[in-house]
Amino acid sequence: MSAECSSYLNADKVLVSGFSCPRAGGDARAVFCCGFQDVKYCCDDPHSFFPYEHSYMWWLSVGALVGLSIAAVVLFAFIITVCVLCYLFISTKPRSKLDTGLSLQMAGKTSC
> Is 109 inside any structural domain?
no
> Is 106 inside any structural domain?
no
Select the more confidently predicted residue: 94 or 68: 68
Do 58 and 32 sit in the same domain of this protein? no
**Percentage of residues in the chain having pLDDT higher than 70:** 71
Residue 64 has pLDDT above 60, yes or no: yes
Select the more confidently predicted residue: 55 or 39: 39
Cα–Cα dist 46/101, whole Å: 86
> Is 11 inside any structural domain?
yes
Do 35 and 7 sit in the same domain of this protein? yes
* Range 46-85 burial, b when 16+ CB lie within 10 A, else e: eeeeeeeeeeeeeeeeeeeeeeeeeeeeeeeeeeeeeeee
> Is 26 inside any structural domain?
yes
> Is 79 inside any structural domain?
yes
What tens digit of pLDDT does each residue of 20-53 get?
Answer: 888 888 888 888 888 878 888 888 877 665 555 5
Cα–Cα dist 1/49, whole Å: 17
Q: How many folded domains does the chain comprise? A: 2
> Is 12 inside any structural domain?
yes
Do 13 and 36 sit in the same domain of this protein? yes
Residue 112 has pLDDT above 90, yes or no: no
Amino acid in position 98:
L
Q: Are 31 and 22 in contact (CB under 8 A)?
A: yes
pLDDT at 87: 92
Supply the range of the domain harboring residue 36.
2-41
pLDDT at 86: 93
Three-class SS of residue 2?
coil
